[in-house]
Amino acid sequence: MNTYAIYEISTGEIVCLYRGADPSLQIQDGQNYVQCDPDTRQETHWVNNGGLTEYSDNEKALKAKEWFVGESWSNSTMSWQVDDSDLLRSEIAKEVRAKRNVLLAQSDYTQMPDVVLSNQDEWDSYRQALRDLPANNASALSTDDIVWPTPPSTSG
């Protein structure tokens, strides 16, 4: 039984691997196929000029980075491209709020009346900076653009 990579003609992006006799029954408009090794993976290869090309180690690392709805990988630039900036900003905002909420929860103890900290004002500023983070980064198109506040020391 042969293995085939079914790919998007316009991008070379492998959609799926098919093991069988007739891959033409599996392709949709705008797709084609090429026979490949059974160990081929869509994360490590793409179709370039009708043949399989392996991504470089650097390209594999870039492609493996966390991606969001609103982004897609481009084989022509070997980078993530923004398809829908509003949708991407919304997804990044969700990610920021989730991480921010964890950091706030981890520092909740600093707000208890029986906890005495010599740098309470620094903790208050830190927590306010966390609460302001989503609004202050509403235009971010990458989580790499987010500058997270540094928590103060736990002196007391």
**Residue 77 lies in domain:** 2-82
Count other C-beta atoms under 10 Å from residue 82's C-beta: 15
Averaged over 124-149, what is the pLDDT?
A: 92
Does residue 63 lie within any of the structural domains? yes
pLDDT of residue 41: 87
Same domain, 6 and 76: yes
Same domain, 71 and 102: no
Asked if the model's pLDDT at residue 67 lies above 60, the reply is yes
Q: Which residue has the higher pLDDT, 42 or 125?
A: 125
Asked if the model's pLDDT at residue 156 lies above 70, the reply is no
pLDDT of residue 142: 84
Same domain, 75 and 114: no
Closest CA to 32 of 138, 80, 46: 46
DSSP label of 154? -
pLDDT of residue 97: 95
Mind listing the pLDDT tens digit for each residue in 87-116?
Answer: 888 888 999 999 999 999 999 999 999 998
Domain boundary, last residue among 29, 57, 82: 82
Would you state the torsion angle of the CA atoms of residues 36, 39, 45, 49, taken in this order, to the nearest 10 degrees?
A: -10
State if pTM tops 0.85: no
Does residue 150 lie within any of the structural domains? no
CA 144 – CA 59 distance, rounded (Å): 18
Does residue 114 lie within any of the structural domains? yes
The region of weakest confidence among 8-12, 70-74, 152-156 is 152-156
Same domain, 77 and 135: no
Total structural domains in the chain? 2
